[in-house]
Structure 1
Amino acid sequence: MTDHLSNGEKLVEISDVELCVETFGNPANPAVLLVDGAAASMLWWEAELCEQIARGDRFVIRYDNRDTGRSTSYPPGRPGYTYTDLAGDALGILDALNVERAHIICRSMSGGIGLIVGVDHPDRVASLTFVSTSTGEDGLPPSSDELTSNNPADPDPADSAAVVDFVVASARAYSGGSSYFDETAMRALVEREVARTRNIASTLANHYAMTFDGPSRGFGDITAPTLVVHGDRDPAFPLPHGQALRDAIPGAKLLILQGAGHDLPRPLWDVFVPALIQHTGGGRP
């Protein structure tokens, strides 16, 4: 069931790039900016999830990072940007929507974007939420053997069916064997993803090829209220990564999603969304 809370997709010019943005709910409500990880467009923050958050009196913003979806793409293997540029895109979207401060939710690779914004632009951040991410420090458990051994060759980007099969298989592996993994729903999402992407070859390659520059300081310098959300079956960043992130950020809280992998399964939205609404209730843009 949908409440048709979407305000529709639009292309926004930010500096020299074009980013596709979609919002949900009332712009007068506190803003929640959803930033996804490597090779993932806005679709991975499902519209139904965005609507569920918006029904909690939030103004929800999702967007396609560079080299995903309908946003600007670069030649495969030659991304013309860094982590800091992607953080600038997030702030540019807030500027374009006249949002002074936002609750910023970063998943997986985009945890670095949340770190950059959180320590270098704290005036723009009402709160931070890190989902399925890591401090990246030495000594944390590596990715699971099952994940690293399931590493098929990249598909021919011109073969859409092969790309869909590849991404669905990757999503299955990243679910950590969770019983929540819904292959039918995932395949439908990935088919939409591939159909709307400017350059799927660039999507498959470029986030892994960019320069991972960092902020001026570290996680211990984050001052915004912070929630860490982590699945206890995450095969990419096993649970100690989430615990280390909680410990690194002053005052951070940890929400463990029982039975979840490196994702936000639909059956657990009724756990995640109330926690997010509570966490984002302390500040308005």
Structure 2
Amino acid sequence: MTEQMVGVNGVELCVETFGDPADSALLLIPGAGGSMETWEADFCLALAGVGRFVIRYDLRDTGRSVSYPVGAPGYGFLDLVGDAVGLVEVFGGGRAGVAGLSMGGAIGQYMAVDHAEKVASLALISTSPVFPAELPPLTAQLLEAYGAMTDPDWGDREAVVEHLVRGARIHWGPLGFDEGVVREAAGRIYDRSPDLRTTGNHNVMKRADGPERDMLALLSAVSVPTIVIHGAADPMFPSEHGAAVAEAIPGAELLVLDGVGHQAPPRPTWSVVVPAIAFATTG
């Protein structure tokens, strides 16, 4: 459980590992604006406890990884895919299980399609097909909540922590919002980030090169063990998104979590989720 700076894909990323490097590697990819704090340390330890060498990291413009001027990211989505591939090469011996949340799930999809030799298995969490055709939009309640959010004084730790807690709450499902855990994580996020405003660069980066791709069709060629985990109460990607991903990948298993929103699996689900991911990511 020691953070380290690692050079991959031409940049420096902050990485932390859990477990025995001799075990099957599992790369955890956060969603947009997310750092390694997306994945609770206890969750990583639980995965390590069932025989996985777990790697979590800060995406570009989050935590201690490389950052760019606010509003001017010097990279695009495909660079984030390349970062994940680079970490698999460094920590997974060239091949690893991949678990991605939200945009991290999109990165996992691209890895499985464009870098199939690097991916031993997939766990796609609270995610959606890249460029989906016709799937339900985010809920009216979430849109309303976004409209009510205002930027804090980014130099005021207490105000920023409160802002991050509120942001987590509006995505969380009704299954036990643990404010204490979320608040502690928000404090660590603030303390580890030189400028939290740079996380917004994920919203303005170049999404892809070339024309949009029919990811649902491309996913039909994925042949690794796959589990799709989706919250039944996800306000950003209603559950139809997860179902579409699972249907597109041959043999994929769909695990729907009652009471869970757009979030990493909360602690009450770990007894189901940890063995499910571990089984899917045997590689």
What's the counterpart of residue 213 of structure 1?
208
- Tell me the amino acid that sits aligned with residue 210 of structure 1: M
Residues 1:185 and 2:165 aligned together? no
Alignment check: 8 A CA contact 1:118 1:125 kept: yes
What's the counterpart of residue 279 of structure 1?
280
What's the counterpart of residue 223 of structure 2?
223
CA-to-aligned-CA distance 1:66-99 (integer Å, 9 cap, x gap)? 0010000000111111111011111111222352
Residues 1:95 and 2:89 aligned together? yes
Partner SS for 1:150? helix
Alignment check: 8 A CA contact 2:13 2:60 kept: yes
Gaps of 5+ in 2: none
Partner SS for 2:281? helix
| Cα distance, 1:198 vs structure 2 | 2.4
What's the counterpart of residue 249 of structure 2?
249
Counterparts of 1:232 and 1:98, CA distance in 2: 32
What's the counterpart of residue 163 of structure 2?
166
| Cα distance, 1:134 vs structure 2 | 0.7
Counterparts of 2:35 and 2:190, CA distance in 1: 10
Per the normalisation by structure 2, the TM-score is 0.93
- Tell me the amino acid that sits aligned with residue 53 of structure 2: F
| Cα distance, 1:137 vs structure 2 | 1.6
Counterparts of 1:157 and 1:168, CA distance in 2: 14
Alignment check: 8 A CA contact 1:101 1:124 kept: yes
| Cα distance, 1:240 vs structure 2 | 0.9
CA-to-aligned-CA distance 1:18-67 (integer Å, 9 cap, x gap)? 10001111111100000010111001111100000000011000000100
Alignment check: 8 A CA contact 1:31 1:59 kept: yes
Partner SS for 1:139? coil
Alignment check: 8 A CA contact 2:123 2:281 kept: no
After TM superposition, the structure 1 = structure 2 runs for residues 21-100 of structure 1, keeping only pairs within 5 Å, are 21-97=15-91, 99-100=93-94
| Cα distance, 1:150 vs structure 2 | 0.6
Query: May I ask how many residue pairs the two structures share in their alignment?
Result: 274
What's the counterpart of residue 3 of structure 1?
none
| Cα distance, 1:222 vs structure 2 | 2.1
Counterparts of 1:120 and 1:62, CA distance in 2: 22
Partner SS for 2:135? coil
Alignment check: 8 A CA contact 1:71 1:198 kept: no
Counterparts of 2:189 and 2:104, CA distance in 1: 19
- Tell me the amino acid that sits aligned with residue 160 of structure 1: R
- Tell me the amino acid that sits aligned with residue 270 of structure 1: S
Which of 197, 201, 209 aligns to 1:201? It is 197
Identity of aligned residues (%): 46
What's the counterpart of residue 172 of structure 2?
175
| Cα distance, 1:159 vs structure 2 | 2.4
| Cα distance, 1:250 vs structure 2 | 1.7
Gaps of 5+ in 1: 1-5
Residues 1:100 and 1:26: Cα distance change in structure 2 (over 3 Å): same
Counterparts of 2:252 and 2:92, CA distance in 1: 28
Counterparts of 1:105 and 1:16, CA distance in 2: 23
Alignment check: 8 A CA contact 2:89 2:95 kept: no
Per the normalisation by structure 1, the TM-score is 0.92
Counterparts of 1:246 and 1:10, CA distance in 2: 34
Measured on the aligned residues, the alpha-carbon RMSD in Å equals 1.5
